[in-house]
């Protein structure tokens, strides 16, 4: 029976929506990871006394990392939404996808090789949630670098 067709068929392109979601998630993770790392590094530089454990600077580091993480996430979301509103979600090139993949592989290699075991970030990415955020940030950075490496054919500024 053909009378059961109450709604017309709606065609929703899934890839542009997926690319926009990945851009927002990656940019917010990149903003958060970058600001947390910078906040912890600055507290370490400004309060280093060289005398073992320092609980006062640890409290400052946690506070500034938390505030910096929130601020970095907001900046990443606003920046990605601005990018999407101005340029849309144009199709990504092969080099962009390769950059995303290499960024994720880089994050996994850093985590499981113990390359950052001497610093706070190495201790943080041992937790799975922090590893996922680090992978999203590295994938976003890899995608940005892959997009920059793509030669532009219709670029009139050259």
Domain-wise residue ranges, the chain = 15-91, 93-149
From residue 51, give the alpha-carbon distance in Å to each of 48, 54, 123, 145.
8, 7, 20, 40
For position 154, what pLDDT does the model report? 64
Non-local (6+) Cβ contacts of 27 within 8 A are 76, 77, 79, 80, 83, 140
List per-block mean pLDDT (blocks of 10 residues) for the chain, which spans 158 residues.
51 78 91 87 72 67 86 92 86 89 90 74 74 88 87 61
- Can you list the positions of beta strands (E) in 1-149? none
Q: Is the dihedral of CA 73, 64, 132, 142 positive or negative?
A: positive
Axis crossing angle, helix 55-87 with helix 14-46, rounded to the nearest 10:
150
Cα(61)–Cα(40) distance, integer angstroms? 5
């Amino acid at each position: 029976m053909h009378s059961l067709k109450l709604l017309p068929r709606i065609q929703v392109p899934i890839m542009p929506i997926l690319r926009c979601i990945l851009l927002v998630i990656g940019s917010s993770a990149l903003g958060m990871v970058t600001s947390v790392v910078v906040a912890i590094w600055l507290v370490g530089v400004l309060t280093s006394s060289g005398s073992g454990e320092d609980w006062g600077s640890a409290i400052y580091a946690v506070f500034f990392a938390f505030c910096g993480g929130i601020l970095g996430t907001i900046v990443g979301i606003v920046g990605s939404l601005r990018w999407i509103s101005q340029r849309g979600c144009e199709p990504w090139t092969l080099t962009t996808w390769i950059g995303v993949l290499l960024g994720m592989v880089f994050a996994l290699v850093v985590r499981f090789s113990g390359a950052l075991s001497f610093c706070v970030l190495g201790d943080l990415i041992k937790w799975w949630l922090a590893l996922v955020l680090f992978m999203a940030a590295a994938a976003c950075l890899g995608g940005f670098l892959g997009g920059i490496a793509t030669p532009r054919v219709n670029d009139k500024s050259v």
